[in-house]
Structure 1
Amino acid sequence: MAIHPTAIIAPGAQIDASVEIGPYAVIGEHVSIGAGTRVGPHTVIEGHTSIGRQNQIFQFASLGAAPQDKKYAGEPTRLEIGDNNTIREFCTFNVGTVQDGGLTRLGNDNWVMAYVHIAHDCIVGDHCILANNATLAGHISIGDHVFLGGLTAVHQFCTIGAHAMTAGGSIVVQDIPPYVTAAGNHAHPVGINSEGLRRRGFDAEQISRIKRAYKQIYRQGLSLEDAKAAITEAAADAPELALFVDFFARAKRGIIR
């Protein structure tokens, strides 16, 4: 175990023998860290925090601190971080609250840039990119393969569907359906993330069906309920549209228009 002599490790911490911990890092007693993870200098990891394998955590990150919620009263809520994530400088991830599921979670293979804030009870999927200064308020759900541009701010309780994308500086106050690109203050739809889908192996026919669903929601003058019904029917023969069906079931704040 490569632990710098200036690092402070609480006796109860569970740290794999292959973990590297840099100078002046502080690791709390309820923290577990999996094999191959590297913790940079001056990082603080506290609370009931579980970190998986092969993560790269850069200097000055703060993980597992108490949520910025006045109702929090010291309950043993959790932060879970999966495998193969990159977490850059000055990121802040908080534990959950008992008012929700008591859990904040970052999945696997995510790229989280400097100064990103993930607040209490947020659930972030796999293969996401959160660019510099992206800020998630509490109780947010983000699907897989989502890209949040720099300085994106997301209102609490929003849901962002898989493969969605926001432009830099977007202010998101309602839910973003899967595959949709959003921009502006307040964020509005500007199309689908076609290039991202091509890079992930979606073929031309799949992208065409997703575009058709987008038009049903935003371009054909249908009510939202009629658009949902049409997409749900089409999803029986188009698995990629099932993400819309799941999103409609989970969305809480109404979709961006």
Structure 2
Amino acid sequence: MNSIHPTAIIQGDITIGTGNVIGPFAVVTGPLVLGNDNWIGAGTFIGSPPEVRSWQHPTETQDASSGNGIIIGSGNVIREGVQIHQGWRGTTRVGNDCFIMNQSYIAHDCNVGDSVTMASSVLLAGHVVLGEASNLGLGVKVHQHRYIGQTAMVGMGAVVTNDVLPCVIAYGVPAKMRDVNSVGMERRGYSGVEIAHVRHAIAEAADQEEIIRAFSTHMLKPGLLSSAISHWEERNGS
């Protein structure tokens, strides 16, 4: 059973699970697959066409579906005024258990991992990937095709123009790695040894490449850090 406000507009090719709440004046347009137990706030727009100049926008309001699809998992909170656009070359994806605060924007072909937090007014350009449990502060802006690693934290107002390694804190304009995200790592169950390893790598390395090499010495050890680094290296073709 879903609870959909009578002023919400639900249109197009949509597959929807159960237990979802869709608030007043939300506009949800397929193609879309929506899982279970999501909370979607008032005035949210999910499924608008990709913002690509060459994209052929719909010519009839009755035929509003236009894009390569959105897949949203289960247990997400998507607050008021959030916009999630249709895929362009692929599919726009949001995982499970994400908390996406008001006025945030997820462009075409983005991939938002499980348990991600996006504070108010975070802006993701096209093809951005957010790793599991990453945390983006108020007003963060992320350049297209960038990757934020698992359990990384990006401070408010940052402008991300380069990829951000897993488990670090980055902030500034442009964003630079500053410290280990020890609080986030502890909350996710990383060991004290893993946290110390990241802290030492950041303190001792002269640049990001050295940090990556230092991280890689942990690759053969079991644990969450090894998994996070594996995802990083798969993404970056290392």
Same fold (TM over 0.5): yes
Question: Which of the numbers 67, 73, 76 marks the counterpart of 1:85?
Answer: 76
Deviation at 1:168, TM superposition (A): 0.8
Seq. identity, % = 31
Following TM superposition, the consecutive aligned residue runs of length 4 or more in structure 1 with deviations greater than 6 angstroms are none
Q: Which residue of 2 aligns with 1:247?
A: 232
Q: Does 1:162 align with 2:150?
A: yes
Structure 1 residues 44 and 223: CA distance shift in structure 2, 3 A: closer
Q: Distance in 2 between matches of 1:131 and 1:153?
A: 11
Q: Which residue of 2 aligns with 1:198?
A: 186
Structure 1 residues 169 and 92: CA distance shift in structure 2, 3 A: same
Deviation at 1:249, TM superposition (A): 3.7
Q: Distance in 2 between matches of 1:108 and 1:93?
A: 15
AA partner of residue 108 (structure 2): H
Tell me the alpha carbon deviations over residues 39-96 of structure 1, each in whole angstroms, 9 at most, x when there is no partner.
Answer: 0010000130111100000110000110111132366400111000000000000011
For structure 1, the 5+ residue unaligned runs are 1-17, 253-257
Structure 1 residues 223 and 88: CA distance shift in structure 2, 3 A: closer
Structure 1 residues 185 and 229: CA distance shift in structure 2, 3 A: closer
Question: Which of the numbers 23, 38, 41 marks the counterpart of 1:40?
Answer: 23
Q: Structure 1-normalised TM-score?
A: 0.83
What is the CA RMSD across the aligned residues, in angstroms?
1.8
Taking the TM superposition and a 5 Å limit, the aligned residue runs for 1:113-132 are 113-132=101-120
Q: Is the 8 A contact 2:88 2:109 kept in 1?
A: yes
Q: Distance in 2 between matches of 1:19 and 1:183?
A: 39
Q: Distance in 1 between matches of 2:135 and 2:159?
A: 14
Q: Is the 8 A contact 1:159 1:251 kept in 2?
A: no
Q: Is the 8 A contact 1:213 1:231 kept in 2?
A: yes
Tell me the alpha carbon deviations over residues 78-130 of structure 1, each in whole angstroms, 9 at most, x when there is no partner.
Answer: 011100000000000001112xxx20000000001000100000000011110
Q: Does 1:49 align with 2:32?
A: yes
Q: Which residue of 2 aligns with 1:21?
A: 4
Deviation at 1:207, TM superposition (A): 1.1
AA partner of residue 133 (structure 2): H
Question: Which of the numbers 25, 38, 42 marks the counterpart of 1:59?
Answer: 42
Q: Secondary structure at the match of 1:191?
A: strand
Q: Is the 8 A contact 2:104 2:118 kept in 1?
A: yes
AA partner of residue 89 (structure 1): E
Q: Does 1:68 align with 2:46?
A: no
Q: How many residues align?
A: 228
Q: Which residue of 2 aligns with 1:220?
A: 205
Q: Distance in 1 between matches of 2:208 and 2:149?
A: 20
Q: Secondary structure at the match of 2:93?
A: strand
For structure 2, the 5+ residue unaligned runs are 58-65
Compare CA radii of gyration and give the structure with the larger one.
1
